[in-house]
Every structure is written in C-alpha cells, then in structure tokens.
A and B are shown apart, each in its own frame.
Chain A
Amino acid sequence: MIASLGLILLCQLFGEIVVRSIGAPIPGPVVGLIVLLLLLQGRDRVGLLRRGPLGDGGVERAASGMLAHLSLLFVPAGVGVVQHLDLVSSHGIAIFVILALSAVVTLVVTAAAFIITSRLLDRWRGTSS
C-alpha cells in the first residue's frame, strides 16, 4: 500500500519536474499518468520491472481505491464559490445559463464527432478489406 502510493507520487513528482524544467503547457500529473502507463506496459515485457507494487497488483489496488471516490476530491475547490457570492448575485444567472448551454452543445458535438468518425472509419475499413 505504502510502496504503491509512493510509486504514484513518484510518477507525479517526475511529471512536475519535467513540466517545470521545460516550461511545457501540460499539467504535471498528466505527464505522471503517461509515466505510470509506460511502467505498466513495460512490466509486461521486462521481468526486471515486475516487482514491488508493480508486481503484486498493489498499484492497481491503490489506484482503484483513489478513483472510487474521485468526486470527493473536487469538493474543496467547489466550496470556493463562497468567495464569489458578489459575482453570483450580479451575473450568476447569466453565467449559469451560458455554462449549461455550452455544456449541452459541447457534449452533443463531441459525442457526434466521435460516433461519425468511428462509423466512417468502419465503412472505410469495410470497403478496403
């Protein structure tokens, strides 16, 4: 458990160091995600990596424990709304409405783009084979 959490933090730390030192516009934890993904992939090919939290399913258990309550982690930042009650009272309704409309448009457009591309690809594969 401790070693698994340590490994996850190490990936994040590595990500932060890379991002800060090259000034990339990517968040550190996203680079950490890629590093952990590479480690998990590497473990299947290189026996040397198959030890500790990477060998006994520890990192998998720690990760699913953390992701089971992903919603909890957004609560502290969400409560930050109490700092902007003046903005809420002056423009709250307008902001609320346009955020909701934008969310609907983005959801529909994204899902549509995904499905259309996927179908075109299937059709193209179907005709080429």
Chain B
Amino acid sequence: MSGTASGGPFALWVYLSQTPLLWLTVTLLVYAAADAVSAATNRHPLANPVLHSVWVIGVILLLTGTPYPEYFNGAQFVHFVLGPATVALAVPLYENRKVVLSAVVPMAVAVLVGGVTAIVSIVVMARLVGLPTNVVLALAPKSVTAGVAMGISESLGADPSITAVCVMLTGIMGAIIVTPLMNRLRITDFRARGFAAGLTAHGIGTARAFQVDTVAGVFAGVAMSLNALVTSLIVPVAVTLLMR
C-alpha cells in the first residue's frame, strides 16, 4: 500500500477501518482483557466478560465514529462460531448423558413452566410500564438464544435488532444474578441451578454455568436448546392472548 504511506495516518485509518482485521483484533483483545479480569476476580459475577467487552468496544466505536455494520464486518467471524458452538454442546451432553437422562421428567416440567414464565412475565410488565407495542413484541422472546429470538421477533413483525439487544441484556443480567440468587435461596442442586441459568439467560447463562460447575453447564446447555424449541412454539400464541 504505497498510497497509505503518502496519505498519512488518516488514509491508514480509512484503509484499516474497512478491513475485517482491525475490528476482529479489537474484539479478541478486549475480550482477552475482560476475561483476564474475570479470572483475576475468581469469576466474580459482576466481572462478566461479555458485559465489559460490550461496553468497552461500544465506547471505542462511539469515540472513533465507527458505524456498527463496519464493526460487524470484522466481528462477524467471531459471531459465526455461535452456530458450531451450539452443535459442540452435544459433546458435554454426551459425556454427562447418564445424569441428564435421569432428570428427563424434571427438565420437561421445568422447561414448560419456565418458558411460559419468561414470556408472560416480560410481556405483562412491559405493558404495565407502557412500552410501545413494537418494543413489547421485540421483548417477548428475550430468554431465547439470539439467532432464534431474532427469527421469532421477525415473525411477530417486531424489530429483530431490538430483540438482539434485549436478548444480550437478559443474558448478561441472568448470568450476573444467578449465582448470588441461588446461593441466597440455598439451592444446592447444580442440575436445577444450571437448568434455570440456561433457560433464563440462554448461551450467556450457559457460559456462566460452565464457569461454576460442569454439570450445571450441561443442564444449562440442554435448557437453552429446549427453551429455543418451546418458546418458538409458545410465543405466537402467548402474544395473541396477552396483547388483546
């Protein structure tokens, strides 16, 4: 690039900001730093690596005036791995199949009760505080993993990108709340703790559960997958009933 050498720092910035390299590097480095802080605090819930990576990168984007699609052009390579990582959940599930199979009935009951609770609680409260209808609809699938939630939101005629933000917020808050809440309620069954984390806070809750306990992580992964199914079937019905 002889043009960049003569064009000075601005031309170099223009060049770099248009390649995936810059924002991919930023994403990995900021996450590595956030993860190091999380490890140094002994995985304290408030040191959640997703939360801190998101705001740090958000501030960098705002300060440099970078539009989100330009950032995503680089970060999409990380985002893509979400799909294969979901498939990879089969491995811990397989390795812990005996524990999982022995809890099929409690899981089936918990996913139905929990899935309905997630939808009904958010839609009722959103209407109570008087949020606009399109936001209420976008909030309904917030406990489901991002890709699925955005699909549900689109089928309801809401804005999928608002859903994505609410899904992330739910995930981060669920991951932060779950450990202190379960400790306070003296729930020591890691199957139940993990299942609740995965159902409420999808992949971010699952990632958190794996930090705490492998069995909790496995149950979180199962809950996330099952809730993706249950919620995509329930949301259209629940929304028609609740929005009348």
Contact = CB atoms under 8 A, between A and B. Distances in A.
Interface of A: 5, 8-9, 11-12, 15, 25-30, 32-37, 40-41, 59-60, 62-64, 66-67, 69-84, 87, 91, 94-111, 113-115, 117-118, 121
B121 A105 contact: yes
Nearest to B82: A73
14 contacts: A12-B86, A29-B87, A32-B83, A33-B87, A35-B87, A60-B95, A64-B88, A87-B135, A95-B135, A95-B166, A107-B178, A109-B117, A115-B189, A117-B109
Contacts of A66: 81, 84-85, 88
B79 A115 contact: no
B129 interface: yes
A75 B87 contact: no
A75 B131 contact: no
A121 B138 CA distance: 37
Interface in B145-177: 145-148, 151, 161-162, 164-174, 177
Given A75-B50, A87-B162, A110-B110, A82 B62 contact: yes
A25 to B, nearest CB: 4
B178 A75 contact: no
Q: Size range of the interface on B? A: 35 or more
B228 A30 contact: yes
B229 A30 contact: yes
B207 A29 contact: no
Given A79-B68, A99-B122, 20 more contacts: A12-B86, A12-B87, A25-B229, A27-B86, A27-B228, A28-B83, A34-B90, A66-B81, A71-B48, A71-B204, A72-B49, A81-B58, A81-B168, A94-B131, A95-B169, A99-B170, A103-B201, A108-B196, A111-B187, A118-B189
Nearest to A40: B94
Contacts of A15: 87
Contacts of A99: 122, 139, 142, 166, 169-170, 173
